[in-house]
Amino acid sequence: MKMTPKEFNKIFDHTLLKPPATEADLKVICDLAMTYGFKTVAINAGTTAICREFVKGSDVLVDSAVGFPLGITSIPVKVFETEDCIQNGAGEIDYVINVGKAKEGNWDYIKEEMEAIVSTCHKYGVPCKVIFENCYLTDAEKIKLCEIANLVKPDYIKTSTGFGPTSATVEDVKLMRSHAIPEIKVKAAGGIRNLETCLQMLEAGADRIGCSASVEIAEAYAAMYQGN
C-alpha cells in the first residue's frame, strides 16, 4: 500500500448501527473518528443531528443510513428520510434498495427509486451510496444493478448492510468494480474486522470501507507502515 496512515484512515466510514446504541456510545465513535481522521461516522437516520453536533468543528462527516436495514419502505418515505437526514446535518447518505423488487426483476422500480434518492442527495451536494445487499442476489442481479447505477450515477455502490446472513466478499467487490463505470466508486461493508481483509477489499477495487473495527485496522496499518 502506498497510502500514508493519514490517507488510509480516510477510507473509513466508522460504523455504529446497532439498535441499543446510546448517545454515550455515539459520542465515543464520533470522538474516535475525529481522533483518527476517519471520513465519516456511519449511523442510523434518527441519530443524525446528535452525531453532527458531536463532530462539529471537524472534517468528519455524518453518514446516515436510509431505509435501513431492510430497504422495504416506499420511495416517498425513503426520499423524505433522505431529506430529513440532510436537513439534520448528514454529509453522506447510504440507502438500501428494495431487494424484493430486484428479486422480482422489477428493474423499473429499482431505477425509479435510485433516481429519486440520488437526485435528492445531489440537489444538496451530498454523496449517495446505494446498498445492494448482495447476500440475497445472484451475480446476474448484481450486474443488472450496476447497469442501472451506470445510468443514474450514484457516487458509490455498496456491497451490504452488515445485517444480512453474509457480509462483503472480495468476489462481490471485483464484480461490482468490473461492471460499474469508473466514476462510480465501490464501498465494501460488513464483516471487515482486520487489516488483511481490509487490504483484500481495497485490492479488489473498493474505495471506501464501512466497519466498526476501524480503529484496530487503522492501528495495524500504522504499525505496518512504520515497519516498512
| Pairwise CA distance, residues 170 & 22, whole Å | 33
DSSP string computed for 60-106: PEEEEEESTTT--S-HHHHHHHHHHHHHTT-SEEEEE--HHHHHHT-
**Span 42-90, pLDDT tens digits:** 999 999 999 999 999 999 999 999 999 999 999 999 999 999 999 999 9
| Pairwise CA distance, residues 99 & 217, whole Å | 31
- Say if residue 1's pLDDT is above 60: no
Percent of the chain at pLDDT > 70 equals: 100
Residues catalogued as catalytic = 94, 158, 187
**Span 126-181, pLDDT tens digits:** 999 999 999 999 999 999 999 999 999 999 999 999 999 998 999 999 999 999 99
Residue 140, Cβ neighbours under 10 Å: how many? 9
Which sequence spans correspond to the domains of the chain?
Answer: 5-227
The closest alpha carbon to 206, from 142, 163, 159, belongs to: 159
**Span 104-119, pLDDT tens digits:** 999 999 999 999 999 9
Could you tell me the fold of the domain covering 5-227?
Answer: TIM Barrel (3.20.20)
